[in-house]
A and B are shown apart, each in its own frame.
Chain A
Amino acid sequence: MNTVIFRTLAPLIVAIMLVFSVYVTLRGHNEPGGGFIGGLIAAASIAVFGMAAGVNTVRRSLRFDPMAVAGFGVVLAGISGLASLFTGSPFMTSIWFYVEFGNSIIPLSTPLFFDLGVYCVVFGTLSAIALSLESDREEDL
């Protein structure tokens, strides 16, 4: 698998996949996509990157432990649900707010952050599994 072609192309593929995963996640509310799929795509890209560049390189470039990213995702999703408590409505009631940015209006909402949390969990967990399967040495796990 470790051919020169693969190793050369892999970073490109990974970059495209990562950007695409974010795109898929963000558009998820109105078109096919969402945090779960986005997370899967990103995790797949990490798996590919791990094969091409080696686990250590991937871990270093990730900066955060993938499981920590997953944990952050759960917390983020939970907190986005808690926000509604301040408006006196039940847990997880969605709140929408619109930010004007130049000429366009960007809708932000608590479900968006919830979806980002899902993205982080799926991405983190699956990358962690993929990376530890790919790694050879005990200390990489």
Chain B
Amino acid sequence: MGGRGVAALGSSLEAGIGLAAVAPFVAAILAPFIQRFAGAFAGWILAIVPASIFIYLLGFADTVIHGHAVASSMEWIAAYGINLSFLVDGLSLIFALTISGVGTLIILYSGAYLKGHHHQGRFLGFMLAFMGAMLGLVLADSLLALFLFWELTSVTSFLLIGFDHSRQAARRGAIQALVITNIGGMFLLAGAILVYQLAGSWELSAVREMGEVLRGSDLYLLVLICFLGAAFTKSAQFPLHFWLPNAMEAPTPVSAFLHSATMVQAGVYLLARMTPSLGGTDVWTNLLVVFGGVTLIWGALGALKQTDLKQILAQTTIASLGLLVLLIGLGSTYAIAAMVVYFVAHAFYKAGLFMVAGAIDHEAGTREITALGGLAEKMPVTFIGAALAALSMVGLPLTIGYFAKEEMYLGLMSGEWTAILVMIVLIAGNAMLAGVALLVMIRPFLGEAVATPKKAHEAPIAMLAGPILLGAGGVVAGILPDWLGHEVLVPGASAILGRAVESHLTLALDVTSLLLWLSVLTWVLGILVYRQADAIRTVLRRFDKALGWTADTVFDAVMFSLIRFSGAVTRLLHHGQLEFYLVIVFGALAVALFGPMLIWGGFDWLVPTAELGDWSRRLVPPDLAPYEWGVLALAVLGLAAVVIAPSRLIAILSLGAQGTAVALIFLLFGAPDLAFTQLMVEILSVVVLTFVMTRLRLDQRDHRPFEDWARDGTLAVVCGLGVSLLLMLVLNGTLDTRLSDFFTATSVPIAHGHNIVNVILVDYRGFDTLGEIAVVMGAGMAVLALLRRQRKPAAAPAGAEGKKRVRKPRKAAS
């Protein structure tokens, strides 16, 4: 964009955009209370929030149409240079207006659709929270903020799909959507970090200037895969499309909002946003066109397979998403222009059709297209909404869908074989979508009246506002090509391509132009598809049956094998045999002690290389007073007693004696604090161990088989040796006294304490201590839990062979 400037920033602007970003979340928190208060009017009240955001955002339209962007930035994590920055340009404004505009109608619609549902307030809250996340996503300028909002949309979508959580299908759909879109989220995070590394900025507005750098980098392919992974999962591209039909378990307003016009478009938005940075290469074009094309055809065929109105619409959404991705992949001016117009057209008609489907379900009691007919008489207004939307989907002149189709074809008139191939795919896809549109419009409403589960009547006004306004919008936009061209297409396409784009939309029909005849061909094929819909459905279903598996079953298989795998790992490592845990812990300790010593040559100082005589000097007995020798002897004696003790009780007591000797050593060599603590720990360990022994009803004696004895003994010796060697090694080096000097020097003046050990614990290293005491408490709770389970012998893990339980009165031991 040549004359692209950024409007002057002001604090009011930042406050405004910040408020627009926060308002939906605040409204989401308040929603349940408002619902309880206002009951049936909650929808009307809460719709004020998206409506005012819509109006606020409209205020930017003038600036954006003149080719400027509005930026606002707040400091977020200053230490890493991460800002919470927003950018309003043509692309984000189109998406944001769609989200808030459709959002207003959807909130209204939800108020009526879920009237009397006991969780309606919660539902409205989730919807508003989702809307906030989605607005944040499209307005974010910082890649990290984009990622954050991206994940928020996944989470809120999970909550909404699983809203009817008492049904298993809803829970499954929710988990599936969460898993798939979160995998995409991880891709996005990886991609964002890579882009930051390469381009040196988190800001998308800066990254778009760095396109050459990114495309020229060795990592380009990796970055591309990351972003495509994110976009393809979110926008349900083949073969990751299967979560979207399952997400239809959500209440209809959710499908109309999230799974047609907004959330699933996030991937499309991301690709459009990254076009200047990553687009234009052969890989980009090929991948996007191939995946988009396959998704288009696959989704359109899928739509013809279904008889449930919502499923049909879900499949057409997949097709439309494929179409949008394909258009971004083509990347020419016409293709991008077509993408912008098609996005708007799709938002108009698809959200409308979903709301119609919901209204039919709500009023007639079924969504099965085969069980419906002749509703036009009973629901005339709904029919008008459906017809307006469907005609736009077919792409008749005077609707916005027409221009979208014209623009698509216009870009492919070059006559190359690749262009012709893509053209064939587009015509086939559009024709099938047109056929489906006719199906959705005609089958339920025209023809003979069929008895429906509920006595059908017109839906309430809140549920009609959406389809009618959106349907009418599609037509109004189609009648005003000048407005559509200059105020939608140009700013949107210019923002994606990063250069000025001309609009050439016109209402005039040129009979000599091939373009018109391609459209006519599409319509004719569409009518054919409609006429043969039942036959096509039978064939497709037979084909499905023959195939036997779908992406959905593959997903299930993968998930179940994951669960089995984690179960196997858990059983292997966490089987409840305490002895084995101890062996692992001490084995790991031995490896941790000796591994680094072996790798970095810790033994070098022990083994004198040059003169063997060095040994004698190393082994000089230390100069100790006799009582000090006595204490050392006590420690050794205690240790020996532990090993040869005839009963467990004696061993425990000997261990205590040995520990007390160590405490004495600490005391003699100037660490009274340590000695004090050691002494208390020894006393408590003797008490606790004795009790453990009695509680576990262990035998008085230790009958370990020889293998166990050898294994445990070896581990003990190895670990002990390792710790001793490590200590000697540490003492061998020069002690870095900077820290202890600092503590000694500052303990009294700044920490007011003479006991440096204590001052370190509670002041200098207080944060560590806080963590430690939390761990102490956590460990204590774990011990209590273990003791509590001890009482049920059947559930308790079987003791190792040696530790036979002896059934005798518990008091006997004490």
Contacts and interface: CB of A to CB of B under 8 A. Distances in A.
B762 A34 contact: yes
B759 interface: yes
A29 B755 contact: yes
Contact of B762 (A2, A74, A115): A115
A40 B681 contact: yes
A107 interface: yes
Interface in B728-769: 751-755, 757-759, 761-763, 766-767, 769
B777 interface: yes
Interface string A99-141: 0000000010101001101100110111011101110101001
Interface of A: 1-2, 24, 28-37, 40-41, 43-44, 47, 67, 70-71, 73-74, 77-78, 81, 91-92, 94, 96, 107, 109, 111, 114-115, 117-118, 121-122, 124-126, 128-130, 132-134, 136, 138, 141
Nearest to A36: B677
Interface string B795-806: 000000000000
A84 to B, nearest CB: 10
B648 to A, nearest CB: 15
Contact of A67 (B672, B780, B791): B780
Nearest to A125: B780
B691 A122 contact: no
B680 interface: yes
A32 B673 contact: yes
A32 B755 contact: yes
A35 B677 CA distance: 11
Given A74-B773, A115-B762, A40 B684 contact: yes
Contact of B770 (A2, A34, A81): A81
Contacts of B681: 40
B677 A117 contact: no
Interface string B580-608: 00000000000000000000000000000
Contact of B758 (A34, A70, A78, A109): A34
B752 A121 contact: no
Given A70-B780, A74-B774, A81 B766 contact: yes
Contacts, number: 141
A111 B687 CA distance: 31
Nearest to A48: B687
A30 to B, nearest CB: 4
A19 to B, nearest CB: 16
Contacts of A124: 777, 780
A25 to B, nearest CB: 10
B763 to A, nearest CB: 5
Given A36-B677, A43-B684, A138-B791, A111 B763 contact: yes
Contacts of B811: 136
A130 B762 CA distance: 26
B13 interface: no
Given A37-B680, A40-B684, A29 B673 contact: no
Nearest to A43: B684
List the 3 shortest-distance A-B pairs measured between CB atoms, nearest first.
Answer: A125-B780, A133-B691, A40-B680
Interface stretch (B356-364, B437-445, B782-790): B782-790
B704 interface: no
B599 to A, nearest CB: 35
B676 interface: yes
A1 B814 contact: yes
11 contacts: A31-B755, A73-B773, A77-B769, A111-B751, A111-B759, A111-B762, A118-B773, A121-B777, A130-B688, A133-B688, A141-B784
Contact of A129 (B672, B688, B755, B758): B688
Q: Name the residue among B683, B684, B758, B767 with the largest chain A CB count within 10 angstroms.
A: B758
A28 B760 CA distance: 11
Interface residues of B, number: 43
Contacts of B551: none
Contact of A92 (B688, B761, B766, B774): B766
Contact of B767 (A71, A92, A129, A133): A92
B773 A77 contact: yes
A90 B355 CA distance: 54
A81 B771 CA distance: 12
A30 B780 CA distance: 30
Given A81-B770, A91-B767, A129 B784 contact: yes
Contacts of A117: 773
Contacts of B784: 67, 128-129, 132, 141
A67 B688 CA distance: 17
Given A29-B755, A111-B762, A125 B684 contact: no
Contacts of B754: 29-31
B19 interface: no
A33 B673 CA distance: 6
Contact of B787 (A30, A77, A133): A133
B781 interface: yes
Contacts of A74: 770, 773-774, 777
Contacts of A78: 770
A125 B814 CA distance: 23
Nearest to B762: A111
Given A126-B684, A133-B692, A141 B787 contact: yes
Nearest to B693: A133
A125 B784 CA distance: 9
Nearest to B770: A77
Given A29-B753, A37-B680, A44 B687 contact: yes
Interface in B687-743: 687-688, 691-692, 695
Nearest to B681: A40
B776 interface: yes
Nearest to B788: A141
Contacts of B769: 77, 114, 118
Contacts of B165: none
Nearest to A116: B762
Contacts of A96: 752
Contacts of B633: none
Nearest to B766: A92
Given A67-B784, A122-B773, A33 B758 contact: yes
B673, B680, B774, B783 pick with most chain A CB within 10 angstroms: B680
A81 B762 CA distance: 10
A31 B773 CA distance: 22
A36 B753 contact: no
Given A67-B781, A111-B753, 4 more contacts: A73-B773, A92-B770, A114-B770, A129-B784
B273 to A, nearest CB: 39
Interface in B654-696: 672-673, 676-677, 680-681, 683-684, 687-688, 691-692, 695
A89 to B, nearest CB: 13
B564 interface: no
Contacts of B683: 44
Nearest to A47: B687
Nearest to B691: A133
B541 interface: no
B521 interface: no
B810 interface: yes
Given A122-B773, A125-B777, A34 B761 contact: yes
Residue from A94, A117, A122 whose CB has the most chain B CB atoms within 10 Å: A94
Contacts of A32: 672-673, 676, 755
B779 interface: yes
Nearest to A120: B773
Nearest to B754: A30
B691 A134 contact: yes
